[in-house]
Chain A
Amino acid sequence: MTIKFLLLVNKQGQTRLAKYFTELLSTDEKRALEGEIVRKCLARTDKQCSFFEHRSYKIIYRRYASLFFMVGVDDDENELAVLELIHCFVEVLDKHFGQVCELDIMNDPDVVHYIMDEMLLNGCIVDTNKINILEPVQLLENVQS
């Protein structure tokens, strides 16, 4: 019933963001896993569903422009809910960065992580209320400037 990892990978297969929750994998294992999953995603067409199985995980993915958002869950999870979680996450990013793009994520990966930490902890959904999520993150921005 938990989310195992969340990956943002672009169409060339370059990882832009990788967050692992309760899985304890080494760096090499993580990168190998990411490569395999991305290859499978890239091979899928629009006519197929957004879910597939890979090893012991079920992967749910969604493509936004050049980025794939891929979430790995274990068997019992509600796939449609995870699909919408991805969309909610993108909406939050959009609200924060204003028309978010891949470069925003590359320039401020730590902020993206902080946003994720407000929404997901240890693989469970904690909050999807955009105001709650963005308040602490906004404060950080104010400190910086």
Chain B
Amino acid sequence: MLQQLKAPKLPFRELDLLVKAIGECRSKQEEDRIIAAEVDTLKQRLSDPRLDKTRGRSREVDTLKQRLSDPRLDKTRGREYMVRVIYCEMLGHDASFAYIPALQLASDPSLLTKKAAYLALTQLLDYKHELVLLLVNTLLSDLKSDNFVVVASALVVTSKLIGPDLVNAVLPLVIERLSHPRESVRKKAVMALLHFHQMDPDRSGPLAGVELERHFRTTLCDKEPSVMAATLNALASLAATNPAPFRQLIPSLTSILKQVVEHRLPKAYDYHRFPAPFIQIKLLKLLRLLGAGDKAASDNMSAVVAATLRRAAAGGSHTIGHAIVYEAVRTVTDIYPNPQLLAAAAEAVAGLIKSSSHNLKYCGLTALAAITRVSPKYAQEHQVAVIDCLEDPDETLKLKTLELLVTMTKANNVTVVVERLMAFLRSTACGGDELLRRHIAGQVVSLAEKYAPDTAWFVRVMAEVFEVGGDVLQPQLAHNLCRLIAEQDSELHATAVRLFMQILDNGTTSSGGAAAAAAAGLGGGAAAAAAAAGSSSSGLLPEILLCCICWVLGEYGSLAAQLPPPHKASIGQVADKLCAAVASAQPSPATRAHLLTAITKLAARQLVSQGGPGPAGVLRPEAQDLLSKAGSSSLVELQQRAREAAALLKLPPTVLSAVLPFDGSCEELEPAELEEARSLSFLDSYVNQAIAAGAQPYNPPPELCHELGILDAEDLDSLGLQSPGAAAAVPALGGLGGMGLGLGLMPAAAGAPAAAAAALGQQRQQSAAAAAAGGGVRPAAGTALKGGPAKGSSIVDPFKDLLG
């Protein structure tokens, strides 16, 4: 349809020079230069006093003088300047110099100049701009004009530039124009009213008390279909917020739709032999809004919707016919479910999906997803066609299919669906778009949680998702996964260890291969192939995955010795791998803290199993290095853990196995035990001994008193202090929570002993230290402190005094 360039057929204008120059320019810089020159010229011309005089003359002068100065030239100039201004703005230059001249030209009697000025104003300004106020008088006089084109133009400007504060000025006139003899004016008046409604949807501002609905009901019955169609837009907008009052219109709407599909509108409204298709679509949309959730309303419309669908499907293979079919299907799925309608819709959708056009497939998939939500059985019939769409190279289509698959997922096909989603997540199409990755990763997680066939599969999938999409997932998921692993039996522990070892082994660049290889090991053949085909987008393991690995290997790494080769590894090797992986990934302090604890646990395990330090010393060189670095770190958490680790590892193996037992993270605590842990009552005898020997009794800080219930909130306020040891509890909790993933302790209970311990530690490190290490360590203390050394310890090494 569009052809080669041809010569312009209008009289010569400077505009033509500009157009020619822009058309021939070869680069953005050249274009910028041309436009900048144009802007300068325009600024000059538009602010030229001579321009005003010329225009002024053609306004107020008598007929003779008008004929003398060629009015046509002036008018064309006005229009021409405005068009040139529009060009400048369209090509990215500021055109604010033209605001005032445009306002002036808007009141020009020449129709062309006026319209051009209005156009420039609507392109440059919006309803929030303060200069619009200056336009109101012109608009008001134009709305009253005898020339319907002028009235129509004024209405167009009104729909764009009138803001809430100016609505009242124009509202009465616009309402009057609803009964203008010309349809061109009436339909624009309807749209202007719609715009006003959108400025004040709650009727709390300028439209308070105005009943727009009444006007719309009248225009709905206008003899001109175009006015009726414009009203449909307004009704759709109103019904979107509150459909109830409009349900009584359903009989009128169904009657109109019936007339339309039966070709009873003037031929001029036909489009490619379809009767007023855009009006049909509008009506279907409106009926959808009104019928949703209301059985009676839906029943009223079902016959006509069915007829519309039938006729559109039979009307031949033009895109607009498919558009009507698509809209009808969406209406059917959103209103109250009707089996015959749904069956007809499913049939229509089958046609869409099987077509060769990508656009039709896309819409077919969306429609199928909508149908599946209402009535799942239809999806099964089309599974083959849907899977075909998945193979399509078009990314948009692939994404749509994935969304459809997600709605179709059940326990029997979840593995396949998740495979596909993971493959998509790894693919480059997903790469840069973070929103998309977060969406897909979230889908995978929720599907896995809902439909996982067994725990091993779940762990593998979660590890994969962490690896590929870890940066867009919630850290909480790591906690959940570790907790889940902790609750399983040792067989799963072993497989989890093997999985994570493999991920570490394959390093960071081909982690895709790692998870895939691990997957093969765990028995997911096809999945491995699909996953291995993709490649990991970033080179580093995400934090969330590192945290998981640290915890699992820390708790169960000793099981690695029992794995068959090539995964078999001694505890020392496991520790090495951990250190190496973490070192290369530059993790956050939280992850490093996890690592320290993991190393500690592994070393403790080794000590316990060997019955004492082996010939190679307690720790491997890298681990030792890490610990000593952390010991002098500026981050308190790391320092604390490092020093605790160093001290713990000096304990005799029997004590160590009580303090850091194997696989004890899930043990439940009795309330009595919790209470003991909370109040540290088992230390009472020791404390009393020390006081009797002359030591000062402990004087806890006021915040802690409140926490322990000794002080009230008012006392605390009077002291000018903040209430709960939330501040105190959090860092301690971080220590406890971090090490005790899967600990199962309630935060409050965990906070109290930790806070108490921390506070005690600050003041009376001997008592706490002695209690923990002394012979009176009862199982209660051991259980309270399981999973990691969370006793009262501080900067100073608590055990130094005792153990010498």
Residues of A at the B interface (CB closer than 8 Å) are 1, 14-15, 17-18, 22, 24, 27-28, 31, 47-53, 64-67, 78-81, 83-85, 87-88, 90, 94, 99-103, 106-110, 113-114, 117-118, 121-122, 124-132, 135-136, 139-140, 143-144
Contacts and interface: CB of A to CB of B under 8 A. Distances in A.
B742 interface: no
Contact of B22 (A106, A124, A135): A106
Contacts of B2: 64-67, 90, 100-102
Interface string B227-243: 00110010011001000
B42 to A, nearest CB: 15
Interface string B1-29: 11111101010000110010011000000
A78 B277 contact: no
Given A1-B285, A18-B90, A100-B1, A49 B358 contact: yes
Interface stretch (B393-401, B453-461, B614-622, B718-726): B393-401
Contacts of B393: 47-48
B394 A49 contact: yes
B115 A83 contact: no
A28 B92 contact: yes
Nearest to B352: A80
Interface string B746-776: 0000000000000000000000000000000
Interface in B388-410: 393-397
A121 B156 contact: yes
Given A103-B23, A117-B156, A129-B226, A78 B326 contact: yes
Given A65-B1, A102-B2, A107-B10, A132 B184 contact: yes
Contacts of A118: 184
A109 B83 contact: yes
B128 A136 contact: no
23 contacts: A14-B31, A22-B198, A24-B128, A47-B394, A48-B395, A49-B396, A51-B362, A65-B2, A80-B360, A81-B323, A84-B319, A88-B278, A90-B1, A103-B8, A106-B22, A107-B10, A107-B16, A110-B83, A117-B156, A121-B159, A128-B276, A129-B269, A143-B111
B157 to A, nearest CB: 10
A113 B112 CA distance: 13
Interface stretch (B133-141, B186-194, B522-530, B655-663): B186-194
Contacts of B112: 140, 143-144
B281 interface: yes
B332 interface: no
A126 B187 contact: yes
A39 B240 CA distance: 35
A137 to B, nearest CB: 9
Nearest to B226: A127
A1 B236 contact: yes
Nearest to B160: A122
A127 B320 contact: no
The 6 nearest A-B residue pairs measured at CB? A80-B323, A65-B2, A49-B358, A124-B233, A121-B191, A48-B394
Nearest to A100: B2
Interface string B304-327: 000000000000000110110011
B582 to A, nearest CB: 37
A90 B271 CA distance: 13
Instruction: Assign chain B's interface to a size class.
Output: 35 or more
B131 to A, nearest CB: 15
A110 B116 contact: yes
B79 interface: yes
- Dominant secondary structure of chain B at its interface with chain A: helix
Interface string B343-365: 00000000000000011111100
B152 A126 contact: no
B1 A94 contact: yes
Contacts of A132: 183-184, 226, 268
A107 B226 contact: no
Contacts of B31: 14
A144 B16 CA distance: 17
Contacts of B276: 128
Contacts of A64: 1-2
B319 A83 contact: yes
B23 A106 contact: yes
Interface of B: 1-6, 8, 10, 15-16, 19, 22-23, 31, 76, 79, 82-83, 86-87, 89-94, 111-112, 115-116, 119, 126, 128, 148-149, 152, 156, 159-160, 183-184, 187-188, 191, 194-195, 198, 225-226, 229-230, 233, 236-237, 240, 268-269, 271, 276-278, 281-282, 285, 319-320, 322-323, 326-327, 330, 358-363, 393-397
Given A49-B396, A106-B23, A143-B112, A80 B119 contact: no
B152 A136 contact: yes
Nearest to A19: B123
A79 B323 CA distance: 8
B275 to A, nearest CB: 12
Nearest to A20: B123
A103 B564 CA distance: 75
A125 B233 contact: yes
B320 to A, nearest CB: 5
Contacts of B277: 81, 84
A53 B119 CA distance: 30
A135 B330 CA distance: 35
A66 B8 CA distance: 18
A110 B397 contact: no
B396 A78 contact: no
B84 to A, nearest CB: 10
Given A78-B281, A84-B320, A110-B116, 7 more contacts: A24-B128, A100-B2, A102-B5, A121-B156, A122-B198, A129-B226, A129-B268
Contact of B359 (A18, A24, A50): A50
A139 B115 CA distance: 13
Given A47-B393, A107-B8, A110-B119, A80 B359 contact: yes
A126 B230 contact: yes
B219 to A, nearest CB: 12
Nearest to B358: A49
Contact of A126 (B1, B23, B229): B229
A113 B115 CA distance: 10
Contacts of B111: 140, 143
Contact of B358 (A18, A31, A47, A131): A47
Contact of B91 (A1, A15, A84, A130): A15
B388 to A, nearest CB: 14
A53 B595 CA distance: 42
A31 B94 CA distance: 12
Nearest to B96: A27
A3 to B, nearest CB: 11
Contacts of A90: 1-2
B233 A136 contact: no
Contacts of A52: 396
A36 to B, nearest CB: 13
B323 A15 contact: no
B41 to A, nearest CB: 18
Nearest to A125: B278
A81 B319 CA distance: 8
Nearest to A17: B90
A68 to B, nearest CB: 11
A1 B188 CA distance: 19
Nearest to A105: B2
Contacts of B115: 110, 114, 140
A51 B360 CA distance: 11
Contacts of B90: 15, 17-18, 109
A14 B35 CA distance: 13
Given A80-B322, A122-B160, A27 B89 contact: yes
Contact of B233 (A28, A100, A126, A140): A126
A137 B473 CA distance: 55
B1 A81 contact: no
A80 to B, nearest CB: 4
Nearest to B366: A79
A20 B325 CA distance: 29
Contact of A136 (B160, B184, B225): B184
